[in-house]
Amino acid sequence: MKAALVLGVALAAGFGPVVAARAEAPAEASKVEMRWGERIPLRDGVKLSATVYLPKGQAAPAPCIFTLTPYIAQSYHDRGVYFAAHGLPFLTVDVRGRGNSEGEFRPLIQEAKDGHDVVEWLAKQPYCNGKVSMWGGSYAGYNQWATAKEAPPHLATIVPVASPYPGADFPARNNIAYPYLMQWLTFTDGKASQANIFGDAAFWASIARERFEEGEAFSTLPRIFGGEHKTLVEWISHAAVDAWYDSYAPTPEQFRAFDMPILTITGSYDGDQPGAFEFYKTHMKLGSEKARANHYLIVGPWDHAGTRTPQASVGGLTFGPASLVDLPKLHVQWYNWAMAGGAKPDFLQKRVAYYVMGAERWRYADTLEGVTAEEKPYFLDSTANANRVMASGSLSPASAGKGSADSYVYDPRDVSGAALEAGLDPSLLTDQTLVLAADGKQLVYHSAAFDKPTEVSGFFRLSAWISIDQPDTDFQASVYEITPDGGSILLTNDILRARYRESLREAKLVTSKAPLRYDFNRFTFVSRQIAKGSRLRLVVGPINSINTQKNYNSGGVVADETMADARSVTVKLLHDKVHPSALYIPFGQPE
């Protein structure tokens, strides 16, 4: 998945496949016995297809691992070989309706009961000692949580990686959807893999651009290739978080009941980081003391794919050797600790491990909250209208702003940036082309240069007093490190639809031109050492992207709006003593 696109526009688009890289030399295959086309019966008579990888000459039953995937089981052949060569029987299982499995594929909703049945079937196999776990990220991270909520007796531990959380980051982030949904559903439609179609970035960008420029309603997305696409219609019909979304996730009672060891893995630039943290935070809130003590969290400097196969370079950034954690090895160590009485992995020094980019090292904390030493407000201010990068407003910890307000006008009929956006590499975290191109159409604030290297670790927040003269509009707020030579590094962002300013569950259109407080409190986690001489840049502006559902500001059903419904909106951001707008910066712990 494209990290910059994700963070800049619709982060949850990280939901997608990752083809496993070879974990070790091909000689590992000599240690493995493979069984093809094993049939796993489910409670309703449907049979799933599995490829079984066993340690060659296995002398006694052992803990077993499986992955449940919509991306065709052969995608994870290398992982199967690796785990079996290290003494752990491993199954790659096609989900219901995909690959060689029977039944109809209904994304996400089917996996809880099916996962339960696979666990209990696997526990009875002669090569299994009755202890079962799961492996995988993204979709295969989500279905670990889904399986766990059904409480299969033989599920001993889970290791959910890059897990989307329906309603938090998929099929929409903060109730703002994206055309990537059609790309993903095309990839997973039917029995076969459409990998070449899915992977043709230029093809999908051209479709997104054309629809954006013509101002088509988002609700027409399911019809672009013909067919019914019932799943996409269903997703679009749920514009806000509701009971339908709730049905995908564990209930509060189920979260409280979890007592198995859990290892959550995500990355600073993982497109499904919001989902991973939603699962983690909810369990930390509701779980028992024992369960919380056995839930570990790793946040690496990785994008979506890197949460399974770390790379030293991500989006134009290069990280140190410590970033290249041997995750397959860590998984083996975890499984042996959680299911076979082995030692806990040395890497897990405390319950939270996070990589500090810039400092290029790992740090540890007992809790997620302990990552941040101090959350300090930097107040927004300006002496003129702060809508220019080179004539920006300021971020200052001194006091509330003295100026009155800054403003921009957003016209949804403006599609002038589509050609530029379609031609850019959306994975780059260091490209400020779109920020510079939007000069005059957004608000920009800079801090003073830091006089020493300074760690920011945790979650940024923005509290802003904003007035709009239409019933609705969309905002994005992004934070960057601006280096002494003028370079830019995207750190984190948040997006917000005005009608959901109070709750993602209830829409309240704006009925007054008076300023209202907007709390951007869903920024993604980041840990980075800001270099001496660098500044922070905050950009607040509209969402006007080919990669995101467009809000035409009319106050109607957003998915049904077209260019004909478009209304220009004037956005005013206030920062006086009565309306103190501030960016809250999470400063890291001292050495």
pLDDT tier at 3 (50, 70, 90 boundaries)?
A: very low
- Average pLDDT taken over every residue of the chain: 94
Two structure tokens written together for 474: 């969309």
Mean pLDDT for 308-323 is 97
pLDDT, residue 25, reads 54
pLDDT, residue 439, reads 96
- Is the distance from CB of 293 to CB of 259 less than 8 angstroms? no
Secondary structure letter of residue 589 according to DSSP: P
**What are the CA-CA distances from residue 49 to residues 35, 84, 136, 327 (Å)?**
11, 18, 17, 26
pLDDT, residue 520, reads 98
368 pLDDT above the threshold of 90:
yes
- Is the distance from CB of 12 to CB of 164 less than 8 angstroms? yes
- Is the distance from CB of 98 to CB of 105 less than 8 angstroms? yes
Q: What are phi and psi of 298, to 5 degrees?
A: -125, 130
User: Residue 19 burial (CB < 10 Å; 0-12/13-18/19+)?
Assistant: middle
107 pLDDT above the threshold of 80:
yes
User: Residue 318 burial (CB < 10 Å; 0-12/13-18/19+)?
Assistant: exposed
Closest CA to 324 of 6, 94, 21, 73: 21
Two structure tokens written together for 213: 């420029």
Q: Are strands 393-396 and 372-381 parallel, antiparallel or unpaired?
A: antiparallel
Q: What secondary structure, in 3-state letters, does 542-580 show?
A: ECCCCCCCCCCCCCCCHHHCCHHHCCCEEEEEECCCCCC
For the segment 39-55, what is each residue's pLDDT rounded down to a tens digit? 999 999 999 999 999 99
Sign of the C-alpha dihedral, residues 232, 238, 269, 265? negative
pLDDT, residue 4, reads 34
Q: Prior bond to 171 cis, omega within 30?
A: yes
Distance linking the first and last C-alpha atoms of the chain: 34
Q: Which residues contact 529 (CB under 8 A, 6 or more apart)?
A: 356, 357, 358, 359, 453, 454, 455, 588
Q: CA 554 to CA 569: how far, in whole Å?
A: 10
* Higher pLDDT among residues 475 and 26, named by residue: 475
Two structure tokens written together for 573: 């951001």
pLDDT, residue 391, reads 94
pLDDT, residue 16, reads 73
In sequence order, the β-bridge partners of residue 395 are: 380, 447
In sequence order, the β-bridge partners of residue 396 are: 379
- Is the distance from CB of 397 to CB of 454 less than 8 angstroms? no
pLDDT, residue 403, reads 78
For the segment 215-264, what is each residue's pLDDT rounded down to a tens digit? 999 999 999 988 778 999 999 999 999 999 999 999 999 999 999 999 99
pLDDT tier at 591 (50, 70, 90 boundaries)?
A: confident
Two structure tokens written together for 310: 């770390």
Two structure tokens written together for 215: 């101002």
Which amino acid would we find at residue 150? E
pLDDT, residue 20, reads 52
Q: CA 392 to CA 398: how far, in whole Å?
A: 18
Q: Which residues contact 310 (CB under 8 A, 6 or more apart)?
A: 300, 302, 323, 324, 325, 327
Q: Are strands 393-396 and 569-574 parallel, antiparallel or unpaired?
A: unpaired
- Is the distance from CB of 7 to CB of 492 less than 8 angstroms? yes
pLDDT, residue 28, reads 86
Closest CA to 84 of 30, 46, 122: 30
Can you list the positions of beta strands (E) in 115-251?
A: 128-134, 155-157, 172-173, 176-177
pLDDT, residue 5, reads 36
